[in-house]
Amino acid sequence: MNLWSLAARRLETRGPIGVALVGAGKFASMFLAQLPATPAIRIAAIADLDPARARARLREIGWDDARIGAVTVTDDAAAAIAAEGVEIVVEATGDPVAGIRHALAAIDEGRHLVMVNVEADALAGPALARRAAAAGLVYSLAYGDQPALVAEQVDWARACGFAIVAAGKGTKYLPAYHASTPDTVWTHYGLTAAEARAAGMNSQMFNSFLDGTKSAIEMAAVANACDLAVPASGLAFPPCGVDDLPHLMRPKAAGGSLEAAGTVEVVSSLERDGRPVFRDLRWGVYTVFEAPNDYAAACFRQYGLRTDDSGRYAAMYRPYHLIGLELGVSVLSVALRGEPTGSPRLFRGDVTAVAKRNLAAGERLDGEGGFTVWGRLAPAEASAAASALPIGLAKDVRLVRDVAAGSVVTLADVEPVLDPQALAIRREALAQIAEAASC
Residue 281 has pLDDT above 90, yes or no: yes
Burial string for 119-151 (b: 16+ CB within 10 Å, else e) reads: bbbbbbbbbbbbbbeeeebbbbbbbbbbbbbbb
Query: Residue 47 to residues 23, 220, 253, 292: CA-CA distances in angstroms?
Result: 6, 27, 51, 49
Residues 308 and 408 placed together within one structural domain of the fold? no
Domain that holds residue 413: 349-438
Whether residue 187 is contained in a domain is answered as no
Which of residues 190 and 56 earns the better pLDDT score? Answer: 56
Residues 312 and 400 placed together within one structural domain of the fold? no
Whether residue 195 is contained in a domain is answered as no
Residues 384 and 244 placed together within one structural domain of the fold? no
User: How many domains, the chain?
Assistant: 3
Whether residue 34 is contained in a domain is answered as yes
Tell how strand 285-290 and strand 313-318 pair up: antiparallel
Report the pLDDT value the prediction gives residue 200, as an integer from 0 to 100.
Answer: 65
Residue-wise pLDDT tens digits, 172-201: 999 999 999 999 999 888 888 888 777 667
Tell me which of 312, 337, 362 is where a domain ends: 337
Q: How far apart are CA 407 and CA 355, in angstroms?
A: 6
Report the pLDDT value the prediction gives residue 439, as an integer from 0 to 100.
Answer: 66
Tell me which of 310, 337, 364 is where a domain ends: 337
Report the pLDDT value the prediction gives residue 110, as an integer from 0 to 100.
Answer: 98
Residue-wise pLDDT tens digits, 93-121: 999 999 999 999 999 999 999 999 999 99
Residue 436 has pLDDT above 90, yes or no: no
Residues 368 and 401 placed together within one structural domain of the fold? yes
Whether residue 343 is contained in a domain is answered as no
Residue 295 has pLDDT above 80, yes or no: yes
Residue-wise pLDDT tens digits, 243-267: 999 999 999 999 999 999 999 999 9
Average pLDDT, integer, range 50-54: 95
Residues 151 and 284 placed together within one structural domain of the fold? yes
The separation between the first and the last C-alpha atoms of the chain, rounded to the nearest angstrom, is 36
E strand map for 323-405: 349-355, 364-366, 373-379, 395-398
Residues 307 and 358 placed together within one structural domain of the fold? no
Residues 381 and 307 placed together within one structural domain of the fold? no
Report the pLDDT value the prediction gives residue 216, as an integer from 0 to 100.
Answer: 98
Residues 306 and 378 placed together within one structural domain of the fold? no
- CATH number reported for the structural domain that contains residue 127 in this entry: 3.40.50.720
Whether residue 197 is contained in a domain is answered as no
DSSP 8-state assignment for residue 21: E
- CATH number reported for the structural domain that contains residue 360 in this entry: 3.90.1210.10
Residues 159 and 264 placed together within one structural domain of the fold? yes
Whether residue 132 is contained in a domain is answered as yes
Residues 101 and 225 placed together within one structural domain of the fold? no
Confidence of residue 286 (pLDDT cuts 50, 70, 90): very high
Tell me which of 291, 306, 337 is where a domain ends: 337
Whether residue 188 is contained in a domain is answered as no
E strand map for 180-307: 263-268, 285-290
Residues 285 and 312 placed together within one structural domain of the fold? yes
What integer best gives the mean pLDDT of the chain? 95
What pTM was computed for the model? 0.95
Whether residue 41 is contained in a domain is answered as yes
Report the pLDDT value the prediction gives residue 434, as an integer from 0 to 100.
Answer: 79
Report the pLDDT value the prediction gives residue 194, as an integer from 0 to 100.
Answer: 84
Residues 366 and 415 placed together within one structural domain of the fold? yes
Confidence of residue 386 (pLDDT cuts 50, 70, 90): very high
